[in-house]
Amino acid sequence: MKTIYVATTNKGKIKEFEQILSALSIKVESLQDHVSNMEDVEETGDTFEENAILKAETYAKRHQVPVLADDSGLEVNALDGEPGVYSARYAGEDKNDQANIDKVLNKLKGVEIDQRQGAFVCVMAYAEPGDKAVLTEGKCHGVITETRQGHDGFGYDPIFQPNGYEQTLAELGAQVKNEISHRRHALNEMVQILSEKVKVEG
């Protein structure tokens, strides 16, 4: 099978892509390691889908390789779906995980635990140079805790407790997270599509 390049500027995501895909017996490389000048793609879309397509199609065309990219984020019901597509830049353009968490916790101050539901969403896009992207989606439902707990993972992991667990993703660690995460679900579906594609194309 040809090499697929994972295109993301987020170190936490790269690690998860590699761990999940190696468990599914797919070899990938990081696009950042393959090219010397991986410049960020501007995320001008209003939806996860638009931004995932933008990233996958732009990187594939620019670097002439098959690309996997995702656009993901946290949707909090009590905040009408915020931070949503703006998850990385919720508290400002410098993409600061700690400031983003503080903003969510402040907005949810006083909100009871049974009103703190939310979900991580991941829209995965695969594109070959010049072609339209193929999309899959994964979700992980849970609640937003009142304080940070745990140190693993990245982004909002310290304040997200998945349904069925008593700890946050940052406490549960990579092994558990990568079994149940939004990214895992989206990749499972994508791997199925890609293996069908290989059969059809020979």
Ligand X SMILES: O=P(O)(O)OP(=O)(O)OP(=O)(O)OC[C@H]1O[C@@H](n2cnc3c(O)ncnc32)[C@H](O)[C@@H]1O
Report helix angle 11-23 to 182-201, nearest 10. 60
71 is annotated as an active-site residue: yes
From the candidates 33, 70, 71, 102, give the one annotated as an active-site residue: 71
Phi and psi at residue 37, to the nearest 5°: -130, 55
Stretch in the footprint of ligand X (CB under 6 A) among 4-12, 26-34, 58-66, 187-195: 4-12
CA–CA distance from 123 to each of 98, 144, 151, 185, 202 (Å)? 24, 21, 25, 10, 27
107 is in an annotated binding site: no
Total residues in contact with ligand X, by rule CB under 6 A: 20
Binding residues for Mg ion, per CB under 5 A?
88
Site residues for ligand X, window 17-76 (CB under 6 A)? 43, 71-74
The structure tokens listed for 71 are 């656009």
Q: If contact means CB under 5 to 8 A according to the sort of partner, which of ligand X, Mg ion, none does residue 30 touch?
A: none
90 is in an annotated binding site: no
Which residues of this protein are in contact with ligand X, per CB under 6 A? Answer: 8-10, 13, 43, 71-74, 87-88, 100, 120, 153-157, 181, 183
Binding-site residues from annotation for Mg(2+)? 42, 71
